[in-house]
Structure 1
């Protein structure tokens, strides 16, 4: 399957929000009634305040001229509103999500690689981002792309939420 990674367009925003909620809630990483679900669904805000990249299938034009949204990721530079852990010289991945029907097709890895490329384009020296300990499939992608665990940077936004950090020097 061909996958095209590009900045989100207006018609992508609704589907991108739904794919993100589907991935986080459907996989049990976020409760359906959690306040975080509103942030996950708000792809419009992410596209306006950070960079929202989408993975689309250009061969499937049934969802519009750009193809169906297979996944998405929010990319932010450290020190900006959407960056939780990255320093100003690092890029950060937020809310990486692949649609259930697109899993196992390289969507997540393509999105992660696009964020690495974007960091390099911006002249950043590295990347760092948070992930939940139970997101094993995502961890495999990060490690395959070249990220390593940075346990000294692990943190808890709330006592009940543990976040691991992965990082890479570019």
Structure 2
């Protein structure tokens, strides 16, 4: 989890505003939310396990509602062999199933919030928020840079960390 307060402190330090502030908390939070949206979108497109949840779908009349935070489909359980089709905010399925999906992160509302992402992304939030506030680049540039960086980060990602058995010696 990334503490928003820590990112704000890092951004203020980068701006040289630790003692004398020019940017308010809402301005910084707005820049962080821009970065968060692009990071979230890049992770959804990469189908990252960092933003994966599972939900049990129980159809009524051949369809089930998708979760409100649904961002993208990943997979069904291995034993699910029926046809399915996404229509709007629903999915047409014939039987109960457990679905893995990528989810949309909640926006940052205040400085005491936490971002539900691993700390390895802390620097990305600091750098790109700082760049937005400095006017070094616009939101479109940030989108491309974040997408490229996320693609590199998740290139070797499968379904999570590799688990290997411990060697056992007799």
Q: What TM-score results when the alignment is normalised by the length of structure 2?
A: 0.26
Structure with a larger share of its residues in strand: 1
Q: Which has the higher contact order (CA 8 A, sep 6+)?
A: 2
